[in-house]
Amino acid sequence: MSNSTNNKPSNKPTKVMSLYKRITRLPFGNKIFSLMVCRMAPYFGTVKPFISELKVNKCVCLIKKRKLVHNHIQTVHVIAICNGLEMAMGTMAEASIPSHLRWIPKGMSVDYTAKAGSDITCIAEVKPEQWVVGDMLVPVTAYDTDGVAVVQGTIKLWISEKPLRK
């Protein structure tokens, strides 16, 4: 007989949310947490992201405008912004997903809506009722320091039940 307790929703915080709450109480906690996320997914480190806010169903991530993320016109390269948006989405998903579900990205669709000539704030946010089996579209937006949306789009996730533990 299989144990179905693994597939029931829980109100208990995820490991990522518990870690965030614990680490961000420390001096430079958000910086430490951001570095920890980059250690788990090293390609995020290329843009030196900083998670400024994380709560269930929302993550805000900052990318500083610096030479290493510039394109040929000295604005923040859109692929660097996409990297920041994916980090915001992935961190939000790990901090938010109900315990009986799992996720994997399926695709990303973005529009470049303005030049990114300043630091960039990347936001991924969903509604709690979106956490159901099937395709899930996560809205993502990147803003410049004036609040202008420079990239808007969605990241498509596949949400499935975790397998039963035996």
What does pTM read for this prediction? 0.89
Domains and CATH numbers, the chain: 4-161 (3.10.129.10)
Long-range contacts of 80-84 (CB under 8 A, 24+ apart): 80/46, 80/47, 81/116, 81/120, 81/122, 81/142, 81/150, 81/151, 82/108, 82/110, 82/151, 83/43, 83/44, 83/46, 83/47, 83/49, 84/47, 84/49, 84/120, 84/122, 84/142
pLDDT for 137-160, tens place per residue?
Answer: 999 999 999 999 999 999 999 999
Name the band, by pLDDT with cuts 50, 70 and 90, for residue 63: very high
